[in-house]
Amino acid sequence: MASTTDFLSSTDLDASQTRGVLDLADAMRRDWPTPARTLENTSVALIFEKPSLRTRTSFDVGLSRLGADVTYLDQSASPLGDRESIKDFTMTLERYTDAIVARVRRHTVLQEMARHASVPIVNALSDVEHPCQALGDAMTIRAACGRLEGVKIAYIGDGNNVCHSLLLTMAALGSSVTVVAPSAYEPDHDILAAARERASATGGSIELATDPEAIAGHDVVYTDTWVSMGSESERDERVEAFQRYRVTAASMAAAATNGTVPFFMHCLPAFRGVEVDDAVIDGATSLVYEQAENRMHAQNALITTLLGRTTANTKGATP
Ligand code: CP
Ligand code: NVA
């Protein structure tokens, strides 16, 4: 089995590697639905401790189309480490697979898997990051805005896993990100510091704001659920804390620059009428289904890259 690097965090790819994945992803999207079969004779396990529509389906369909054999393991009823040690689980699974993709409740589980595995471990969402989402989002932003450097993104809502990976990824690509959140729900400060360090090398920037009107003047307005998987017991207090942060047609119109309404992004699943109104998610500037599609191409490019298959038989990619 191949031995290469993991993708637990957006920081596991530097700026140049991230751009390489995005370029390959664009090429793979152009070649869809008949991309080159870069992953023939490989086997990938998908492990999910939490529900998923997009991540599960996009990995399964995408990697299968590239020729990989994909095995899905539902761990929702039996969190990793319950039935057997994470070491035994990982070291067994790597005897059958070339890569392990896992959605976990605790990020530390991914880190422990990575310590034991000789095959790549890929984060399909943890409580800390959602780096595959951010790759698809960067691809989507580049296609919509025509560039990444200097693009201004306002992330409004909970400073959560999706926010963290968006910060780290877009900072490395030279974009500016303003996180607009109640002070009790700011992003993790270590992740903010890491994002600022990445931004300082690219001309990007990272800002924090608490006033919902701070979304004005940005090219993109991004939001996510206020109640992530695992924080359902806090639903009432969160919905109350975030009331002023709902993205509405009025807030998007007020955020417009010279009459141009920002693009709207959401990783989905969305709670319509809670963090975003129907008129926005269904509106002319919404990119949500582009994001969902691009997840697949970005992940195909990522796994192809991690497994060193980029030159195998891609049709026109220049990774
Ligand atoms: N955006 C995303 O990860 O969606 P799923 O939870 O449906 O996989
Ligand atoms: N922040 C959300 C993202 C879902 C894709 C969660 O963790 O539930």
Q: Name the residue with the closest Cα to ligand 1, atom 6.
A: 52
More confident residue, 316 or 15: 15
Q: Is the CB of 291 under 6 A from ligand 1?
A: no
Which domains does the chain carry?
Answer: 10-129+295-306 (3.40.50.1370), 132-292 (3.40.50.1370)
227 lines ligand 1 (CB under 6 A): no
Is the minimum distance from the CB of 267 to ligand 1 under 6 angstroms? yes
- Proximal ligand: closest to the CA of 267: 1
Identify the pLDDT of residue 1.
41
Average pLDDT over residues 29-51: 97
* Residue located nearest, by CA, to atom 6 of ligand 2: 228
224 CA distance to ligand 1 centroid (A)? 11
Task: State the distance from the centre of ligand 1 to the C-alpha of 267, rounded, in angstroms.
Answer: 7
State the pLDDT confidence band at 314, using cuts at 50, 70 and 90.
low
Does 123 contact ligand 1 (Cβ within 6 A)? no
Known catalytic residues?
A: 103, 130, 133, 224, 267, 295
Bridge partners of 209, per DSSP, are 180
CA of 176 to the centre of ligand 2 (A): 22
- Residue 318: pLDDT over 70: no
Residue percentage of the chain with pLDDT more than 70: 96
The whole-number pLDDT of residue 317 equals 43
Q: What is the pLDDT of residue 319?
A: 39
- The model's confidence at residue 310, banded by pLDDT at 50, 70 and 90, is confident
From the CB of 53, is ligand 1 less than 6 Å away?
yes
Nearest ligand 2 atom to the CA of 268 is 5
Q: What lines the ligand 2 site, CB under 6 Å? A: 125, 160-162, 224-225, 228-229, 267
Q: In what order do the strands lie in the sheet with 69-74?
A: 69-74, 43-48, 99-103, 121-123
Which ligand is closest in space to the CA of residue 165? 2
